[in-house]
Structure 1
Amino acid sequence: MDMTDDYGVDLEKVFGVIDTADVLVVRFQIIQQRLLIDFRSRPGTPPMLAIVPRAESVEDRFRSIKRLRPQFPFPEKVMSFHWPRTTPVLLTSGAWQRIVDRVGAIGGDDSVEMCGQIMQDLFAEERKEIAGAILGAEHYQTLWERQRA
């Protein structure tokens, strides 16, 4: 059994993307938002992590990165991977720690703290989405309803 069987994704490839990307977008199964990680830095400007809306196109994503990081040129490329499981599984798989380690090595303790806050925000977004699915949020369709007595 390989790591793909356990996590629904090839972790070695995910780790490779995390280790080499200048800019990375993580797409999630449950939440519509994306995790944007810009590993680029310079003195006084650490790496950036942000939860961002889904982009309409590749061009839109590049423009949004430029708006968020105007001090940097457009990235040469943006790497991405789809995370097919929940955010807690992102933690247990080692993928999140790989991100935290790289961000921390570049940006120090403040950047590691930022990673912790982003993970809490991702947990909250996921819980909100699951609650919306259960309670019948607008963008969900009810397949069956409980009969009232």
Structure 2
Amino acid sequence: MDNDFSVDLDDILATLRSHDIVIARFVTVHRRLLFDFRSTPLDPPLVAAVDPLPSIEARYRHLRELRPRLGDPPKLVTVFWPRFVASLADTPAWQAVRGRLSASGHPGAVESADAALAGLVDLERAAQREAILGGRAFRTIWSASPSPR
């Protein structure tokens, strides 16, 4: 069951269509989805799962390392997706991403983005399994067996 938070799809769509760099934050995984729609004949657009960083300056440094020929973008925009990562794939927002990538003329850009999203979906599912079965990030509050008081 997904969170019952409303998503302003029109706002997210407008952001994805009008900005070169968009970072999507999710509620269930700590990693972000970085959309860098800038491209050159040598540099395809980039969609990648990235770790959160402590500051905007750190994100700019990270982008310079990832895309040294492209320089600093004028602006970075972050959107919050308050639902499961997998639900993004079934929205007009993801279709807008795929459309921009297709229009770039770089074969493989769409498949690369789909793979990045699939990787985050896998992380999300692993976290769900850990929450249910117990794992590093989770601990049981109540025991299934009674304990003496």
TM-score by length of 1: 0.88
The match for 1:104 is 102
Give the alignment partner of residue 6 of structure 2, picking from 5, 8, 24. 8
CA distance in 1, matches of 2:135, 2:56: 29
The match for 1:74 is 72
The match for 2:43 is 45
Give the alignment partner of residue 90 of structure 2, picking from 82, 89, 92. 92
CA contact 1:47–1:103 (8 Å) conserved in 2: yes
Q: Of Structure 1 and Structure 2, which has the larger fraction of its residues in helix? A: 1
| Percent identity over paired residues | 34
Structure 2, gaps ≥5 residues long: none
Per-residue displacement from partner, 1:10-38 (whole Å, max 9, x unpaired)? 10000000001111100011000000111
AA matched with 1:69 = R
TM-score by length of 2: 0.88
User: Which aligned segments of 4 or more residues in structure 1 are displaced greater than 4 angstroms?
Assistant: none
Structure having the higher Rg: 2
Equivalent pairs counted in the alignment come to 144
CA distance in 1, matches of 2:66, 2:106: 20
Per-residue displacement from partner, 1:95-141 (whole Å, max 9, x unpaired)? 11111111111143311111221122121111111112223333334
